[in-house]
Structure 1
Amino acid sequence: MENIHIYHTNDLHSHFENWPRITELFRKRKQWHTDAGDAVFLFDIGDHLDLSHPYTEATQGRGNASLLETEQFDAVTIGNNEGITLPFDALDHLYDHATYDVIVANLFYANGARPDWCIPHKIYVTDQGTRIGVIGLTAYFHTLYELLGWKLSVPFQALREQLALLQGKTDIIVVLSHLGINDDEQMAEIFPEIDIILGAHTHHILHQGKLIKNSLLAAAGKYGQYAGHIEIQYDPATKKVLDKRAEVYDTNKLPLANNEEEYIENLYLEGKKALSEEVLSLNKPLPKQEIAQLLCDAVLTWCNADVSILNEGLILDDLNKGSVSFYDLLSICPHPINPCTVILTGAELKEVLTDMKRESWETLPVKGLGFRGTLMGKMISKGVQTEVEGQITSYRINGQKLNPKTRYTVAIPDMFTFGDFFPSIYRATEKQYFLPEFMRNILAEALKRT
């Protein structure tokens, strides 16, 4: 009987505060298993990087790729943070110095060619000759990828093609899936030949895994709060998997890693130093509410829209008088959020403008969707004139009375299209995303002009 161990991480999002304990655990376990003659593999399932951290922003993710190299990971797949928050060239050169495998079966250049830095699958062979086929898949945000110059194929279509190529060539099949729990469950139902599905993207935790038909699903949450471990018992004589088990380790319960505080601080300071270049100088301090208004006005012009709407919670802090660096802009606007426009009828826009008045927005907690703050904040707009007569509120757009049937271009943070904050925006069918510029890039230009 052969024991095979797989350790996995996912959705770290540059939360390096947990990375030292994870890597120390992996190093020790790898040595234990190797000494016992067992096979060991380390896989990351994507979204290791997040441009909200100064070290990642300063290195455009190459620092994250280097950390995986240092820890001798065997393979990674990419998540949407690698795929659509990095500019084209940054992703295309992200793994220039990696010796581990980057496995993504459904990513291509716009011309249909596969990038030479990634492969659709890899067969790993243990010392006892067991063949482990590994396939990688990333989330199907095809519209956003296309805007950056990439092309995605449908994940399950790519998976079916790779499984056909691996048929008869492997003893165990593992999928690195940055698709989310719903797709992983469906994958297990449709493709029972898969033995292990290592999940990500939806930040779910499967403490002891989840068995669906023949497939064992596993996932380790987010931010490095957990690290995953799969143990497979395989009989080379009968070529059968006798047992497979999944577990996760709570990093809060792991022993302190050597010099972990210094390690975490050094990554942060290294990024801060690299982003210390002055962008502009302010002759007076700017409170965050004023900065939000400035950004809202800048987005209106930048997107050439009729109206712009955003939430004040996008701006996390004030700016002091004097020098403002790239680090300062990252600190007050860390979100990997892009501007976007949607087409709304006047009736739909009025519905949004009315809903914006709710005081509950200011204290609404928000997680995910690219948002890296805590509270939504007050909703603000530009390009709208409000008139109140008694109990009746009316609106003017570009000086003209809002017409219920007129189509208006509304500029917003893209998070409004991913989350159901405003039903009319969420349901809108005409949307245009602007990549790779983040809100802080537009803010920087607006501050320079100011």
Structure 2
Amino acid sequence: MYIGNFRWRIVLLLFLVTTINYIDRNVLSFAMLDDTFRKEMLGVPLTYTLTQTDLDTFKIEYGWIDTAFKTAYALGFIMIGWLIDRLGTKRGLAFAIGLWSFAGVANAFVSSFQGLWATRFALGIGEAGNFPSSIKSIAEWFPKKERAFATGLFNAGTNVGIILTAALVPWMTLHYGWRMSFMTTGVLGFVVLLIWWINYQRPEQHPKVSEEELLYIQQDRQQEEISGRLTWWRLLRYRQTWALIVGKFMADPIWWFYLTWLPDFFNSSESLTQRLDLQNIGLPFMVIYLISDGGSVFFGWLSSQFMKGGWDLNRARKTTMLICALCVVPIFLAAQTQNIYLATVLIAIAAAAHLGWSANVYTFASDMFPKSAVAMVTGIGGFSGAVGGALLAAFAGPIRVKFGYMPLFLIASFTYLVALLIINVLIPKMKPVEM
């Protein structure tokens, strides 16, 4: 019996929102390679020649700006998850898109690290709304057996956003200046806000969803209402919440590290014999994030296929996460090789594995909690991931300046295996909470 497939159009809509989300947050990673941007932030004349000491100072300050963004991102999860569960997915995400787009445009008007700190802080608050809203949407629109695949599909928008940023922002910066890069990408957010507002509804309210598809979506529907007040403190009583916290706190900082520091790695790594600048840095990023896009979709699909093949939720999710964790281990070699092509491939495999890990960890909220708690639980996970990212960001600049990239890539290599071990101790068997 044909049941309809309108739910996959919702994934496409979430994919678009996530793509713009990642474009807005990644412009800075490429703008930092522009000499004019560096000089304006350091407050020196444009005719001044930057010394190595100036560049080291810039990288340390950049690390603190990145820390401010991630701190705001963490605080945003505290508010946004709660807000989305009360306002609903449509209005909650619309508010978040509007805020991050305004902050993205404001980035074009700063002239100092202090101004950049303020705009990136506001950007972090707004961008925190994307994933709680998207995960709640997936819980509303998909049965459990399709959620990891659906999550992997929309989560692939993260890489498309980075690919588009790598392809367009360096060119735009070289030809029109770094301010125009921020302005253009920020305006894109307001366009996607309009698209979101016009197209999104819950499945039971959407006129294009057939009765057969609605019954399919709700086949394993969890309890919609929870008795008693839903709070963070109540959710923190459950081991399932802490499993999500560990999965995000330990893995998200590695992804943030890739987004923030890979342009600098290819531009100034001491190990590589070939270094890249704004004119040619886009190509390795296209390779890395095209491959990692495939990882997001593949590992989400793999987990769903395991379940369709008869595996239970626990075995399907954890087996997939173990494969992802093992794929990240060789990345420490990227800090040792002189070959830029080998470094690119190692980083691409690790990035693909991270997105596969992320697609499965994100489903923890909808796998084990009632739908009415999904956004708040995802917010808790996102908060913990952002806190971990902020902690690593605070140390990444000094570590990179003093010791190079080797310690940072070593941290990335083994973090996922340790995280999976802790998750398995917390929840030996994945099962829904009783609330």
TM-score range, shorter chain: under 0.3
Q: TM-score, normalised by structure 2?
A: 0.23
Whose helix fraction is larger, Structure 1's or Structure 2's? 2
Q: TM-score, normalised by structure 1?
A: 0.23
Whose strand fraction is larger, Structure 1's or Structure 2's? 1
Of structures 1 and 2, the one scoring higher in RCO (CA 8 A, sep 6+) is 2
Larger Rg: 1
